[in-house]
Amino acid sequence: MEILVLVLTFVILIGIGVPIAWSIGISSILTMLVSIPVIPAFTTVAQRMATGLDSFALLAIPFFILAGQIMNRGGIARRLINFAKTLVGSLPGGLAHVNIIAAMLFGAIAGSAAAAASAIGTFMGPTMEKEGYSKEYSAAVNITSSTTGLIIPPSNILIVYSLASGGASIAALFLAGYIPGILTGLFLMVVAAIWAKRKGFPVGERNSIGDVIRTFIDALPSLLLLIVVIGGIVVGIFTATEASAVAVLYCLLLTYFYKEVRLSDMPTILLDSVGTTAIIMLLIGTSMSMSWIMAYENIPQAITDFLLSISDSKVVILIIINLILLFVGIFMDMTPAVLIFTPIFLPIVTQLGMHPVHFGIVMVLNLCIGLCTPPVGSILFVGVSVAQTTIQKVVKPLLPLFVAMLIALILVTYIPELSLWLPGVFGY
């Protein structure tokens, strides 16, 4: 009865357009009223939300968001695009490759897929259109490539997974994201090259070594942020939370050096950062309350027993879990999906011998695909809005790029070394 109430109320609320954070909170309260009516449901949910947010690691999220907002306005995207253009602009479908590499770099620096889709799409969309690329195709490339920044560190969603998993190392998760994120970008570039040859897209001029060096030096201060943040975490100079504060300070110094952010811009940047942080924290708080009621009802254990009763094959179970996560990603935002489904699936995969860090990368990669799909794919809406087109027109060029992401997902799922080799090198 309690499971039915939880699932039905959540699905109905989402279906009628209630914001997902409110849907999670209301369905948790209603389930609590049915399950344990002797306790005050509203008070308990409020307490669980507060307890769920009482984590030092979560302080990294608002700092990384602020760093991303500063970078989004600080001319960093343009410099990364110029550097990427000198590297791959002469390949078939060169501007699509530029978009993908620039999105990977910017997403890795900013830690935000939405920021990457907005910043890179604003620059690359008009440029690609002038060169003969369709508006819909450039939007599709921008949408899918922007999600790689959620896998390549620093990534806010990996911090959330660390919290939901009960303590998976953030440093190990950050290191584990590099190869899968780059692999996904490479598969997207393969599709872009094939599509370019079929459509006869123009090939850019080959750049000299001098041009490559010049644009690299121009982008180097931005790229150094990756070394400062990730290197500091891996070496043990500071924690992920402290690294996020260092990232904000570095970005402020960088934008002062570039002279593209004025002091008068800071109130808007801070306000946008606070708004984004508030949304994420509300999602985290309500999701933690739902996770608590699910644990109280032994729902994760019931699902574990059910899946293991279907098959004891690791291959089959991982196929089922991937399909469920792909379906969940279509209808649910990334943060609540990680917080709700990690406690459900992590015990299953660890029982099958899968490392928690490996599963974290697989889960995030699954949900990244969901960000690009209707009806609630947030990056899909950002990319379509920036390109000034419609979802219906973008779906067709998105399909082959989805296939590329799915191939990357399969490889990452069944080849653990793609995720675990780099953390192992650094002793995690």
For the chain, what are the domain ranges? 56-284+298-425
Asked if pLDDT for residue 217 goes beyond 80, the answer is yes
pLDDT score recorded for residue 205? 67
Tell me the pTM: 0.84
- Given a cut of 90, whether residue 357 has pLDDT beyond it is yes
What are the CA-CA distances from residue 329 to residues 334, 344, 371 (Å)? 7, 15, 7
Provide the pLDDT for residue 358: 96
Could you tell me which residues come within 8 angstroms of residue 206 by beta carbon, excluding any fewer than 6 positions away?
90
pLDDT at 376: 66
Q: How far apart are CA 340 and CA 426, in angstroms?
A: 30
Q: Which residue has the higher pLDDT, 247 or 300?
A: 247
pLDDT tens string 287-312: 888 888 887 777 777 888 888 888 88
Q: Dihedrals φ, ψ of 57, to 5°?
A: -65, -30
pLDDT per position as a tens digit, 82-133: 888 888 767 777 788 888 888 888 777 766 777 778 778 877 888 888 877 8
Tell whether the model's pLDDT for residue 318 goes beyond 90.
Answer: yes
Tokens of 69: 């907002």
In whole angstroms, what is the distance from residue 117 CA to residue 149 CA?
A: 10
Residues ≥6 apart with Cβ < 8 Å to 260 = 73, 74, 75
CB atoms within 10 A of CB 296: 14
Instruction: Mention every residue, 6+ apart, whose C-beta is less than 8 A from residue 377.
Output: 330, 370, 371
Other beta carbons within 10 Å of 384: 25
